[in-house]
Structure 1
Amino acid sequence: MSSVTAQMSNNGGPWRLYVVLYGEPRWPEFRWEGTGPVPTVAERRAALAVLGYETTPGAGWSWCEDSRDPDDITTPVLLIAAVTVRPRGEVTS
């Protein structure tokens, strides 16, 4: 399997992390309980490990923001982070 993207998002509730697998009906997902601060890099790595993935060497998290209604600047912001991942233990050349 080649590398894929993991995303983490929050729209005011719990943070959730999921691995984007196109063509699959369900994506691996991890949710943190409650509405705490942004999960640390260590917490994100642990969550990815639970899902069977790891970040690819040299990959860093990128952040962007979105909203349910991009034409209304008063709507709550949806934060989205993304990183390239691979199945745990997979070696790429």
Structure 2
Amino acid sequence: MITSWDGSEWQVFVALPDEARWPHVPFPIGAGIPSPAARRSALSSLGYAPVADDHHTWEWMETTFEGDPDGTVSLIATTTVAPHTPDA
């Protein structure tokens, strides 16, 4: 999960190798940081689920992106996911 390049939304996404555009679900910045339940729901809508169903599995970090002329700090949250298998 990261803030969009223009700072208008959070984006919960799945980073897929060899894909130019990653699937994502947007959340308005004004609504606050998406809750762990909202993030799980977003991942589920993309066909994925966290490997461990625990909000503590999200790791937060701050970073700046190479080439950003302003040196803006971005907040990123990561977790490990696997393809979601529907309950039988």
Which secondary structure state, in structure 2, belongs to the residue aligned with residue 42 of structure 1? helix
In structure 1, the residue matched to 2:75 is 79
Match of 2:43 in 1: 48
Partner of 2:52: 57
Give percent identity, aligned residues only: 35
Which one of the candidate residues 14, 20, 25 is aligned to 2:15? Answer: 20
What CA distance in whole angstroms lies between the structure 2 residues aligned with 1:77 and 1:13? Answer: 15
**Length-normalised TM-score, structure 2:** 0.76
Aligned-residue CA RMSD (Å): 2.5
State the 4+ residue runs in structure 1 displaced beyond 6 angstroms.
none
Give the number of equivalent residue pairs. Answer: 81
- Structure with the larger helix share: 2
Please, what TM-score do these two structures have when normalized by structure 1?
A: 0.72
Structure 1 residue 66: deviation in Å?
Answer: 1.2
Structure 2 CA distance for partners of 1:78 and 1:34, relative to 1, 3 Å:
closer
TM-aligned CA distance change 1:68 to 1:26, over 3 Å:
closer
Aligned position for 2:85:
89
- Deviating more after overlay: 24-33 vs 35-44: 24-33
Residues 8 and 28, structure 2, Cα contact 8 Å, conserved in 1: no
User: Structure 2 regions of 5+ residues with no counterpart?
Assistant: none
Contact preservation (8 Å) 1:17, 1:30: yes
